[in-house]
Amino acid sequence: MFHVTTSFDLGGTQTQIKHLCTATTGRYEHHAAEMFPELNYLFRQGVAVAPARYVTGGPLKRLIGRLIVNRNRRGFHLVQIAKLVRDFRIERPGVVVGWGHEMCVTTFVAAAIARVPRIVFCIRTVNPAFGWVEPTFAALLLKAFRRMTPLVNKTVVNSTFLRDDHGRWVGMDLGEIAVCANGIATQTLPAERRQEARTRVRAQYGIAADAVVITNVGRFYPEKGQLSLVKANGLLLQRPLAKPVVWILCGDGPTLPGVQAAATDQGMSNMIFTGRTAAVQDILAASDIFVMPSDFEGMPNALMEAMAATLPCVSTTRSGARDVARDGIDALYYEPGDAGALARHLEGLIVDPATARALAASAAARVAEFSVPRFVGTFEAILDEVTSTPGRDT
């Protein structure tokens, strides 16, 4: 199996591919390639495509190889296809898996050229008409998917929310779309280690022991909704709460400066921005509530990890999280952008600790069902179906 993604940095998609590639219980051999490591969603620096793999052969092949090394950027689709064709011809996979809308298109074209027998699409977010690309490109993607889908061996999504959305967008029978929920490492910090981390992180950021800490972890992109957290904070600050409220917002991305400026302009000294951090588990241990304010989420790993850390969670409704956390039992939900509803949920959890504890305990028990072995087993069962059918002639 050969998986194609944008780049191997922190992210939900990459985490799931890593689970497959490192699984000790899996029945398939999984390999993966990142399309453009030097320019990715989380702005990792100092990583590039290896020239030795691509700048080989005759003059034309070496010219294409140099383009792959020097022009491998978002939007350079022909270069990306050339890169993948070379990868596929070297690796000779029996199945290729494209992860994400753009990568599915690139993977499909390259696999057809390289005559890979079987192709699988993994869809990880809502359809492009939601605005995460400009409208002209969204229309091109729709045309491409409607042409490609009948020729693809399987389409896989990670939630029923995405199954329904993708089916409507492409015009597919929902029964033709496989659902494979994300898997997370469900083990948490031991109680003693968690208390140590809680004390240390609060001291690091100057947070009082009795403060209620509300946390969000995610990329700072327009659809991730962090600006609505500033609005909800403004509403909470107007209410007579018995305990101080502090926010810890973890992550990096293009909208971070704007969210920081919005908080600063309103004098919100209770909002802490950590930037990109590897100390997520420690920060969750220091927290009391987790919020996922995204306009849309396929299935948010960050929320699942917060559930495993025994935190009460609040999420928007337009999310695959609903497959994991049941409304009012394992999490609380509100409509995207409704800062008032979010503030009311948060106030309720703050003033009623017993309800917050019950929600958190139920969440931890529920998310334990979504383990990495379960994810690997479900994904490979789908591959069993794919490989049981004849592949294209090679």
- Which CATH code fits 2-183+373-387? 3.40.50.2000
Residues of the chain falling short of pLDDT 50: 38-44, 394
What is the reported pLDDT for 119? 97
Say if residues 128 and 142 touch (Cβ distance below 8 Å): yes
Q: What are the counts of helices (DSSP H) followed by strands (DSSP E) for the chain?
A: 15, 12
Cα(71)–Cα(39) distance, integer angstroms: 11
Q: C-alpha 133: how far from its chain's center?
A: 17
pLDDT tens column, 53-74: 888 899 988 888 888 887 766 6
CA distance 124 to 387: 22
**Cα distance between residue 7 and residue 9, in whole Å:** 6
Q: What is the largest CA-CA distance in the chain?
A: 74
Q: What is the DSSP string of 70-88?
A: HS--TT-HHHHHHHHHHHH
**Dist CA 111 CA 128 (whole Å):** 23
The two tokens of residue 151 are 């020729």
Span 366-379, pLDDT tens digits? 999 999 999 999 99
The answer to whether the 2-183+373-387 and 191-369 domains have the same CATH topology is yes
Contact at 8 Å (CB) between 304 and 266? no
Phi first, then psi: what are they for 4, rounded to 5°?
Answer: -120, 125
Q: For the chain, give every domain's residue range.
A: 2-183+373-387, 191-369
Cβ neighbours, 10 Å, residue 131: 13
Give the pLDDT confidence score for residue 16 in this predicted structure.
93
User: What token pair was written down for 233?
Assistant: 């904070």
> Is the CATH number of domain 191-369 3.20.20.70?
no
Integer angstrom CA distances of residue 21 from 32, 187, 233, 340? 8, 20, 41, 43
Q: Identify the pLDDT of residue 40.
A: 43
Q: In this structure, what DSSP letter does residue 35 have?
A: S
Evaluate the CA torsion angle 231, 235, 238, 239 in order and state its sign.
Answer: negative
Distance (Å, whole) CA 304 – CA 306: 5
CA distance 276 to 193: 22
Residues 366 and 326: beta-carbon distance below 8 Å: yes
The CA distance from 94 to 389, in Å, is 12
User: Could you give the CA distance from residue 85 to residue 92 in angstroms, rounded to a whole number?
Assistant: 10
